[in-house]
Structure 1
Amino acid sequence: MQDHFEPGQNGALHEPRLWRDDGWTARVIKNDDDEGWAVEMIKDGEAEPALVGPWTMGRDKKNPKPLDTPAFHTLVKTASEVLRRHEQQLHATLHKSIVVNTASSTITVNLDIVPDEDDPYATLSAYDDAGDAIAEVRVAPNFKLSRASAEQWIENEFRRP
């Protein structure tokens, strides 16, 4: 069976093994791990797939089942969820926050890591009850924010640790 081209709106491409639409590309590929097939989902502008998973065999048990609209929409939804979880995990890794109660106030201490390839660093910042900035210093990207380190920074009048 020959692949056929169905042009869509906005440069969309709908072929049995390749769909491009809604900012995503789905490509059915040979599964390197076995004799089956896999599908990879790549978000426009990204070099690596957001999702790679097994793909169903067609009726002939040799070729892959062709991509279709419902399958593509399910793949987009799943790949989007994978990216969202990855972004949440990355955010949690790069942004930490601890609330410290002192004798006179409550201070929120934040650590924000900037993973720059050439010059990674982190910013340690403190905010009062009203959310106003009290202090901010640049620290090493591997600075460990803990309750003890936050309390010590406050006790040292926000001098660079």
Structure 2
Amino acid sequence: MSDQEVQLIQEDRVWQGKEWTARVIKNEDDDGWAVAMYKDGHAEPALVGPWTMGRDKKNPKPLDHNAFNTLVKTANEFVRRHEQQLHATLNKSLIIASDGMDYKICLQIIPDEDEPYAYLSALDMAGEQIAKVKVRPDFKLNQTSAMKWVQSEFARMD
């Protein structure tokens, strides 16, 4: 078997498919079971949720192809929503008018672990960048701060 022909595990408590692994685990909060969804290459689960008890009311219901596909769909949606929320948190913009011109002012936060920073940029309504400066990651973008920056002719913000 070559490296590209990896055998996928498809058992009662562990099921692998393209990009995902589902693991049925003991629920730490009670006597029940949970399922953890791991995206390939990640040590932490992307999603953990309750899992159904089997007929004996002691052991978990076995994983199968249909359950796995549903779990993958749910996990992908969860990851997508998380990424959208993170993007919205790190990227803000607003439109302001000054001296007969409309500007789109954007704040992009770069969440570097050691030294986070941000960029404040101004675009005209055609999407052309007029100015860009580095700012603190906690810079508060609002109508007042954007107008002040435009009126300073896009001076550095220290």
In which range does the TM-score fall when normalised by the shorter chain?
over 0.9
Question: How far did 1:98 drift?
Answer: 0.7
- TM-score calculated relative to the size of structure 1: 0.92
Match for residue 6 of structure 1?
Answer: none
Match for residue 27 of structure 1?
Answer: 23
Following TM superposition, the consecutive aligned residue runs of length 4 or more in structure 1 with deviations greater than 4 angstroms are none
Q: Is 1:12 aligned to residue 3 of structure 2?
A: no
Q: Is 1:75 aligned to residue 91 of structure 2?
A: no
Task: Name the count of aligned residue pairs.
Answer: 153
Give the unaligned 5+ runs of structure 2.
Answer: none
Pick from 91, 94, 109: which aligns with 2:90? 94
Encode CA deviations 1:101-154: one digit per residue, 9 max, x unaligned. 123211000000000011210000000121111000000000000011000000
Encode CA deviations 1:4-37: one digit per residue, 9 max, x unaligned. xxxxx64321010001111001000011111111
* One-letter identity of the residue aligned with 1:141: P
| Residue aligned with 1:14, SS | coil
Encode CA deviations 1:66-121: one digit per residue, 9 max, x unaligned. 00011000000111111011001100000000101123211000000000011210
After TM superposition, the structure 1 stretch with the greater mean CA deviation from structure 2, 115-124 or 9-18, is 9-18
Tell me, yes or no, if the aligned pair for 1:11 and 1:21 is still in contact at 8 Å.
Answer: no
Tell me, yes or no, if the aligned pair for 1:17 and 1:28 is still in contact at 8 Å.
Answer: yes
Match for residue 122 of structure 2?
Answer: 126
Task: Kindly report which structure 2 residues correspond to 1:44-123, keeping only aligned pairs within 5 A, or say none.
Answer: 44-123=40-119
Aligned-partner Cα distance in 2 for 1:103–1:10: 63
* CA RMSD after TM alignment: 1.0
Aligned-partner Cα distance in 2 for 1:20–1:44: 9
Give the unaligned 5+ runs of structure 1.
Answer: 1-8
* One-letter identity of the residue aligned with 2:104: T
Identity of aligned residues (%): 61
| Residue aligned with 2:10, SS | strand
Aligned-partner Cα distance in 2 for 1:95–1:104: 26
- TM-score calculated relative to the size of structure 2: 0.93
Pick from 120, 131, 141: which aligns with 1:135? 131
Pick from 136, 151, 154: which aligns with 1:155? 151
